[in-house]
Amino acid sequence: MVRCVLLSVALCWTASAAGASNAVSLGYSDKGAVIDSDAESCPGGGWLVANHDGTFENGYAWQYAGIQPPYYGAFGEGIEGFQWTVACVALWVSTEPGYFSGQTCDVYIWDGGVDSPPTSVLGMVAGVVLGNVPVWPMCGENDVWINMGVHGDFTVGYWGNWPGGHAAYYCGADLSGSGGHPWTWIAPGVGYPTGWNDPSIVWGPTRSMGCGAWFAHPASVEARSWGSIKALFE
């Protein structure tokens, strides 16, 4: 269920804990090549839809005050007009040495996110420990089983569960592809407009984020409504 992206000649930097920014990045890397692993991909997934070009030139994360419940500090990517079953949400992430030690994330599907910002939560999987979090300049694909139906435009992504702490890992950022619909949900009080915004206002020009969807054939749909999960945020 794992694929990796190998990127060349990374120029990395790490913000120190003292006076560290709430918004951090791994640093620009020249475009590299996708390296497919032999691991099993998403179970039940027929095809993968993502807006990136198969390489990531940077990685973004929120930390400290930038990560707040319910999902301030989330990243997502809008997917255009499907009416199928999403078998898995695909996430491409990377880390710096010593910062990932099993921290969890919550994986989401939101409504909308193509012609306008995402809106309501359609489904989520809480407390996911990603199994493929390599050190930059590698970026690992993680396929998270969700198995739910979608109708029309939607956004897939995740929220890192480390409020008040240093970023455990970073979402892959494509700076050179044909473009998509990148999003981040910005917390209040961190120096940027609050709510859903293009990551470009924080990190500079960004074409798409490392989030995608594995689709299955339209059968055996498990509905997961906002009503069934909203108690998690109260």
**Tokens, residue 139:** 């970026």
CA 93 to each of CA 136, 157, 227: distance values in angstroms, whole numbers, following the listed order: 9, 11, 29
Q: Is the pLDDT of residue 208 over 50?
A: yes
Q: Is the pLDDT of residue 2 over 60?
A: no
Confidence class of residue 230 from pLDDT cuts 50, 70 and 90? very low
Q: Average pLDDT in the 137-142 region?
A: 90
pLDDT (tens digit per residue) in 75-130? 999 999 988 899 999 999 999 999 999 999 999 999 999 999 999 999 999 999 99
In a domain, 226, yes or no: no
Q: Give the CATH number, domain containing residue 161.
A: 2.60.120
Top-confidence residue, 101 or 15:
101
Give residue 166's domain range. Answer: 21-27+51-204
In a domain, 40, yes or no: no
Total tally of structural domains belonging to the chain: 1
Q: What is the DSSP string of 58-126?
A: EEEEE-GGG-BTTTBT-EEEEEEEE-SEEEEEEEEEEB-TT--SS--EEEEEEE--SSS---SEEEEEE
In a domain, 37, yes or no: no
Q: How far apart are CA 93 and CA 61, in angstroms?
A: 10
Residues whose CB falls within 8 Å of the CB of residue 213, separated by 6 or more in sequence, listed in order? 48, 49, 50, 79, 82, 86, 88, 89, 90, 156
Beta strands 105-111 and 208-209, pairing class? unpaired
pTM of this prediction?
0.84
Ramachandran angles phi, psi of 12, nearest 5°? -105, 155
pLDDT (tens digit per residue) in 175-192? 999 999 999 999 999 999
In a domain, 230, yes or no: no
Structure confidence at residue 5 (pLDDT): 36
* Average pLDDT, rounded, for the chain: 84
Structure confidence at residue 45 (pLDDT): 80
In a domain, 200, yes or no: yes
Assess contact for 162 and 65: CB atoms under 8 A.
no
pLDDT (tens digit per residue) in 149-182? 999 999 999 999 999 999 999 999 999 999 999 9
Confidence class of residue 200 from pLDDT cuts 50, 70 and 90? very high
Confidence class of residue 40 from pLDDT cuts 50, 70 and 90? low
Q: Which amino acid is at 97?
A: P
Q: Is the pLDDT of residue 31 over 60?
A: no
**Tokens, residue 186:** 């910005």
In a domain, 43, yes or no: no
Report the percentage of the chain scoring pLDDT > 90.
Answer: 69
Structure confidence at residue 11 (pLDDT): 27
In a domain, 141, yes or no: yes
In a domain, 5, yes or no: no
Q: Average pLDDT in the 41-69 region?
A: 92
Report the percentage of the chain scoring pLDDT > 70.
Answer: 79
